[in-house]
Structure 1
Amino acid sequence: MDHWRALAPSEAVAQHLWVALKHEITYRKPTFLNDDVIATVLLEKVQGARAFYETVIRRGEEVLAEVKSSWCCVDASTLRPARLAREVIDHFFAPEEKPAQ
């Protein structure tokens, strides 16, 4: 999760890991090896130790696939699920977009 390492405070990155729980993929059109595609990833919400994402993969204006995924935050030392502090979550949302935790 590159955005986690880019946006979270370094202490939080060192203390937490992410584990994929579920990916639901809806394929709309075929994609080929040399296609130029763009994946747009949206963090929808953080609830407890879980984060929910929506990803749309496009080739130009064509939607090729839509992905809904959930991830679990775990403590790096105990490997048990860990809730993130509100101050850490706030790094990922603009003030008007802050979700309920």
Structure 2
Amino acid sequence: MTTVTNGIPYRFEIAVRPEEIDFMGHVNNAFYLKWVQKAVLAHWRSIASFDEVNAHLWVALKHEITNHRATFLGDIVCLTVRLKNVQGARAFYEILIQRGQDILAEVKSSWCCIDAQTLRPTRLAREVVERFIQRPHARYNSSAEQASNGRTGLTKTVSSKLRNEDGSELGQ
């Protein structure tokens, strides 16, 4: 099991639409699950490469929702997604749904990674999982590695071996 203690938070905004409102005048809880699915998949696409996105599918296994407040037409809500751990082909997320500072719901969600060709569960490579982890004091091995990498942003940061400030390799 890979525990992700510093999962990079991913923010995903939703504007509440009329079709999401139920007979009681607020968002039907079923839409919270649709929002979670959109947010988790957007998180995956924001970190994975094009080839990784095409090689892996994600299937939701379980959602546990704790509702705190109702959501209404016209609200703009933000889902903050964090990967908490990976165990084999399974990924466990925590999602916070907020309107401004108000917490509307908290969601624990588990997913299974599926190989797009075989449609069987598959583990993500460690280097892919590492991209979900925030490394606050990481730096490149050398400026030569950095220059030769050719990628930008987070993908560039994690594709090289990362080092702590004392020079030791991260994860050691």
**Under TM normalisation by the shorter chain, which class is it?**
0.7 to 0.9
- In structure 1, the gaps of 5 or more residues are 97-101
Larger gyration radius, structure 1 or structure 2: 2
Residue 69 of structure 2: SS of its match in structure 1?
coil
Match of 1:57 among 87, 97, 103: 97
> Are 1:9 and 1:88, in contact at CA under 8 Å, matched by a contact in 2?
no
Q: Whole-Å Cα distance in 1 between the matches of residues 54 and 77 of structure 2? A: 32
1:70 and 2:95 matched: no
Q: How do 1:1-101 residues align onto structure 2 when only pairs under 5 Å count? A: 1-95=41-135
| TM-score, normalization by structure 2 | 0.53
Cα deviation, 1:68-89, whole Å, max 9, x if unaligned, reads: 0000000001110000110111
| TM-score, normalization by structure 1 | 0.87
Equivalent residues, number: 96
The aligned amino acid for 2:128 is V
Q: Which has the higher contact order (CA 8 A, sep 6+)?
A: 1
Residue 46 of structure 1: SS of its match in structure 2?
strand
> Are 2:55 and 2:115, in contact at CA under 8 Å, matched by a contact in 1?
yes
Cα deviation, 1:9-62, whole Å, max 9, x if unaligned, reads: 222212110001111111111111111221111111111101111111111211
Task: Answer 1 or 2: which has greater helix percent.
Answer: 2
Q: Whole-Å Cα distance in 1 between the matches of residues 123 and 68 of structure 2? A: 35
Q: Whole-Å Cα distance in 1 between the matches of residues 127 and 68 of structure 2? A: 37
The aligned amino acid for 1:40 is T
Q: Whole-Å Cα distance in 1 between the matches of residues 101 and 135 of structure 2? A: 29
Q: Whole-Å Cα distance in 1 between the matches of residues 135 and 76 of structure 2? A: 33
- In structure 2, the gaps of 5 or more residues are 1-40, 137-172
Moved more, 54-63 or 17-26: 54-63
Task: Answer 1 or 2: which has greater strand percent.
Answer: 1
Q: Whole-Å Cα distance in 2 between the matches of residues 44 and 15 of structure 1? A: 22
Q: Whole-Å Cα distance in 2 between the matches of residues 48 and 33 of structure 1? A: 40
Q: Whole-Å Cα distance in 1 between the matches of residues 49 and 100 of structure 2? A: 34
**Aligned-pair Cα RMSD in Å:** 1.2
